[in-house]
Amino acid sequence: MSSVVITGGEPTLNKDLDAFVIRLKERGFSVKLDTNGFFPQMLGKCLPYLAYVAMDVKTSLGKYGLMGAKGTRGFQRSIELLKDERVDYEFRNTTVPGLVSKEDIPEMGELVEGARRFVFQQFIPGETLDKRFNNVNPYPPEVIKSFAEVMRSYVGEVVLRI
């Protein structure tokens, strides 16, 4: 079986995403969607046809405004949609110093509590959309491992990509 990953920008902004996912599924493709979770209506339309969803949990709710978010209601709805669905999924966090700190991890855990899987992945500086992060030093692996220890009390499985 062949697979397709739909990623961004943010794919759920596309008003025809659900039709595209359905066509892929009808043609025998296994489809994975990468999303920021801010558009739960489109996510909900696609879920029955997806094999896997990876949704970003960038930081605690209070810090989403630092990234330009006007609100987090849609994001929170998408978390609940995934936790209630049969599709396989992961919530994931790229551990960006300045956006994610040890104080944020319990709040992030409460957001996804009861979820199947949470992934921490290493931030790699370089050419980033937000130039403030181009030269940020990533966390040492030990720090990310300590984040994972906290998250383990909230979710079924914690995965490290460091």
Q: In which element (H, E) is residue 30 found?
A: strand 30-35
Domain enclosing residue 84, as ranges: 3-161
- pLDDT digit string, tens, across residues 3-22: 999 998 899 999 999 999 99
Q: Per the structure block, which two tokens stand in for 104? A: 């944020």
Query: Whole-prediction pTM value?
Result: 0.94
Q: Domain tally for the chain?
A: 1
Q: Look up the CATH number of the domain holding residue 17.
A: 3.80.30.10
- pLDDT digit string, tens, across residues 53-108: 999 999 999 999 888 889 999 999 999 999 998 899 999 999 999 999 999 999 99
For residues 58 and 64, the answer to whether their CB atoms sit within 8 Å is yes
Q: Per the structure block, which two tokens stand in for 92? A: 């994931």
Q: Per the structure block, which two tokens stand in for 143? A: 């720090």
Neighbour-count burial of 7, counting CB atoms closer than 10 A to its CB (0-12 exposed, 13-18 middle, 19+ buried): exposed
